[in-house]
Structure 1
Amino acid sequence: MSTVRLRYLAQVNPSTPEFDKLSVDDRLTFLPMENVWSGPDLNTSLLRRKTEVSSGYTRFKDGDVLVPKITPTFEAGRSVLVHGLLNGVGAGTTELHVLRPGPQIDPRFLLYVVSTHSFLKLGEAEMYGVAGQKRVPDDFLRDLPVRLPMLQDQRRIANFLDIETARIDKLATFQKNILRGVDEREAALLDTALDQLAIQYGTIPLRRYLLGVEQGVSPQADSAPAAPNEWGVLKVSCLRPERFFPDENKRLPGDYEPDTKHEVREGDLLITRANTPALVGSTAVVPEVRKKLLLSDKIFRVHLDQRVSPHFVAAVARGRRVRDICAAASNGASQSMANIRFEEVKAWPIPAANRAAQEELVQYVRKRRAKMDALRARIERQSALLAERRQALITSAVTGQFDVSSASGRGGDPA
């Protein structure tokens, strides 16, 4: 058993001549960061023409191991071994390191090496950059000491882990499907309730309730969140459907002079103007919130007349009819960002229910969401335990703490 630095076992961020050989109109696999996931969740369905990704992107090929370099994706252990790329070549986000295994190391074994708990902790300690934008340097990978069994033993370990992690991944997929079912059930119940209100009262466009709308500011800000006594500006991630996360903000420079008219206050109705296609148009009412948080220019603050409750509008915004309007407005947008205009928001169909019926709907939604949230929490905890089990198994097998040959009937002999 020897210990060898990774630079002698794999090329780190090498050139990819296979990419250069493609014609400008040839298509290849494209991997944005949101598609890079370990196990069966890797999404290689996106395709791009070579001319679209000829500069400004990371290049790789079948058999490469991709390691996310930026926080928090690195710490999440989302490294992947890529196979089945269109034309055998891919391009993707620049936030990926590429490892190309040499003849002394099995590609699957290398993937498991960079999925161990010890590797992730060492890499986290070596990150550089400001908070929220820290990256793992190339030299950390090149100088990484790898405990290197014989190639036959590497394959035996990889065979064992392929089988065992597949079992865990299957359970994790089952948990995700349950969560998806919970989400769908909650959405169906809300849509049914809103349809009944629409039939009983009819609908009117949101513009009929509007008193005004404003957007915030887009100053230069740190990536780190503001401390309680500092000024910060909200990020679009502060909003999810009917949920507000004030900690999703960016700290403003100490010499910045804020205009307090853009300060977010309790009771504000906020709507995201720009977000991912799935989340653009997310709407929530601000609960009790600390001072010194400014509205972003990517978020609308909406003022309504007394006939309609902002909580009711936020609930309606989660319904099918509003979601369809936002989806239509986002048609053709990139996976990472979509935009809606306030003209589309003003067209949202709102059931013309009286305040008593609105409050009844709001209370119904809150009770149903509380029950669903409790179920989600239990499922997410089980999923977290599965992820911990997966990483612990990989770490013990790769580092020799666990002898896979003693696992009778598992892993098999190397091919």
Structure 2
Amino acid sequence: MTFDLAVETVAHAVPTTWKVEEFRRHATLVDEVNAGGNMPLLSLASTGIVSPRSEEGGMGKQIPSEATIERYWITRPGNLVVNPMWLIGGGIGVSRIAGAVSPDYRVYKIGSELFPPFLHHLLRSRPYRDQYRLYTRAETTFDRRVSKQDFHPMPLLIPPLEEQHRIAEFLDIETARIDQLASHMKAQDDLLAVRRRSVMARAWVPDCPSVRLGYFLQLVTSGPRGWGDYVSDDGNLFFRSANLRRDSINPNLNSVVRVAPPESAVAESVRSMVRRGDVLVGITGANTGWVARADESVIGANVSQHVCLLRPATEVIDGTWLAYIISSPMVQEKLLGSQYGGTKTQLSLPDLRDLRVPLPRLEDQSALNRSIDSELAQIEGQRQLRQRQLALLAERRQALITAAVTGQLDVTKFRSTSDI
């Protein structure tokens, strides 16, 4: 047999009691459709878990038509579900429940020589993830689809059935422990977010007189409409809502673009250009209310129509304090909360201009900035440490799976991860 490149490396090194055979010898496509539309709709997560759709009463974010629902494939416990457009992102897993999945997916019934939980781990291991990437032609939705012609001849590493059971049981226990530890770490991240909001609340000094913010702003404006049409490789930086962060007042320049506005737009270009000390606020969509302080990286940039530029009177208001006060829970509630308890998805310039906040003295603002900066730096350090720990756990999880399903690890020698 001629092996595919990514799996070939491990296929030649499996124990002599294992077989290496093509996937199509051990799996059959299921062609049972959801006629009548009675089966619950399921989704396949990138974690490999097949679960009921939760949004819109189980219909999902995009509600399919009745005719489409009747074309959904029925899957049953032990079937392999494959999302061929997202295999490189983890769109493959054995279902433990019955239901109906998208007609864009594939469902396979597994043969008797394979234990489905073992196959679940095998096809989610690193060599197979690398294999799926070799099968894709690009990163676009269409071109990253893994075809049946590539997937069906793919070699499988097949231990004796009893050994498959032992490997699957071992991995189920050990990955569950790793996942539980990761869940605890994510919960600690949530606590850090709560602590961050508490720190940001210090910018609100209740004993100070309340003022209308617009009285102390030199400029309240948003960028001109339609400038997205002028995005180019040169020109001015173009600060969009994508350059805001939810949990920081520092600009996010990971997705920065440049804009070359028309020559007739000189006045608009000058008006919407960022200066030192300016504060930028998202005013539309998912980033509404997110705040950035203009630092050296964005001075001279133009803002988009989805970003409000606030220019404080510097003899009264410090730009950093202004960014913190707008980010504080008190102001966010004022800006985003509606009369009926909903959340605004758009702010107007008067919303920001008419905002009333307590205004401490300039020297007190500076002191608050130093205190808040210091604590936020500590929180960010802990958050980054937690992210590194989570990344290491994910690497360990994947390494453990790969070692077990390729025969590099004799699972009979271990009782728990503490022994490894």
Q: TM-score range by the shorter chain?
A: 0.7 to 0.9
Q: Which residue of 2 aligns with 1:214?
A: 222
CA separation of 1:324 and 1:291: change in aligned 2, threshold 3 A: closer
How many matched pairs?
Answer: 379
2:21 is equivalent to residue 4 of structure 1: yes
Instruction: Please say which of residues 173-182 and 52-61 is displaced more in the overlay.
Output: 52-61
Give the deviation of 1:125 after TM superposition. 4.0
Structure 2 CA distance, aligned partners of 1:220 and 1:344? Answer: 28
1:17 shift after superposition: 1.6
Alignment correspondent of 1:340: 346
- Any idea what the Cα deviations from partners look like across 1:366-388, whole Å, max 9, x if unmatched? 11111111222222222111111
TM-score (norm. length: structure 1): 0.73
Aligned in 2, Cα 1:144/1:274: closer, same or farther, shift over 3 Å? farther
State which drifts further: 379-388 or 347-356.
347-356
1:175-232, Cα deviation, whole Å (9 max, x unpaired): 11122212212222332x244x0x211434544444221135453699xxx87x6776
Aligned residue in 2 for 1:236 = 241
Pick the aligned partner of 2:157 from 144, 147, 161: 147
Number of the residue aligned with 2:64: 53
8 Å CA contact 1:266–1:289 kept in 2: the answer is no
Range with bigger deviation, 135-144 or 40-49 = 40-49
Give, in whole Å, the separation in 2 of the partners of 1:312 and 1:371.
19
CA drift of 1:318 comes to 2.4
Equivalent-residue separation in structure 1 for 2:24 and 2:302 (angstroms): 47
Q: Tell me by how many angstroms 1:312 deviates.
A: 1.6
Specify the alignment match of 2:279 in structure 1.
269
Judging changes above 3 Å, is the alpha-carbon distance between structure 1 residues 291 and 322 closer, same or farther for their aligned structure 2 residues?
closer
In the alignment, the residues of structure 1 paired with residue 243 and residue 28 of structure 2 have an alpha-carbon distance, to the nearest angstrom, of 40
Which residue of the other structure, out of 113, 116, 132, is the alignment partner of 1:123?
132
Structure 1: distance between partners of 2:84 and 2:321: 41
Change (3 A) 1:183 1:397: same
**1:313 Cα deviation after fit:** 2.2
Amino acid at match of 2:288: V
Contact 1:321 1:349 in 2 (8 A): no
Q: Distance in 2 between matches of 1:271 and 1:174?
A: 33
Post-superposition shift, 1:167? 0.8
Shift of 1:62: 5.4
Task: Indicate how the Cα distance of structure 1 residues 163 and 326 shifts in structure 2: closer, same or farther if over 3 A, else same.
Answer: farther
CA contact (8 A) 1:221 1:250 kept: no
- The separation in 1 between residues aligned to 2:244 and 2:174, in whole angstroms, is 38
Shift of 1:130: 5.7
Cα RMSD (Å) of the superposition?
Answer: 4.2
The separation in 2 between residues aligned to 1:221 and 1:110, in whole angstroms, is 50
Structure 1 equivalent of residue 6 of structure 2: none
Counterparts of residues 312-351 of structure 1 (less than 5 Å): 312-325=321-334, 327-328=336-337, 339-342=345-348, 343-346=350-353, 348-351=355-358
Structure 2 residues not aligned, in runs of 5+:
1-17
Deviations, residues 125-177 of structure 1 (Å, cap 9, x unaligned): 44433689973533554443221234443332211110000111111111111
Letter in 2 for 1:135: R
Residue aligned with 2:207, SS: helix
Identity %: 21
Cα pair 2:85 2:142 within 8 Å, conserved: no
- What corresponds to 1:299 in structure 2? 307
Name which of structure 1's ranges 262-271 and 373-382 shifts more when overlaid on structure 2: 262-271
CA contact (8 A) 1:29 1:46 kept: no
Asked if the contact 1:204/1:351 (under 8 Å) is kept, the reply is yes
Q: Provide the C-alpha distance between the structure 2 equivalents of 1:283 and 1:312, rounded to a whole number of angstroms.
A: 12
Give the structure 2 partner of residue 189 of structure 1. Answer: 199
Does the 8 Å contact 2:321/2:369 carry over to 1? yes
- CA distance in structure 2 between the aligned counterparts of 1:270 and 1:134, rounded to whole angstroms: 38
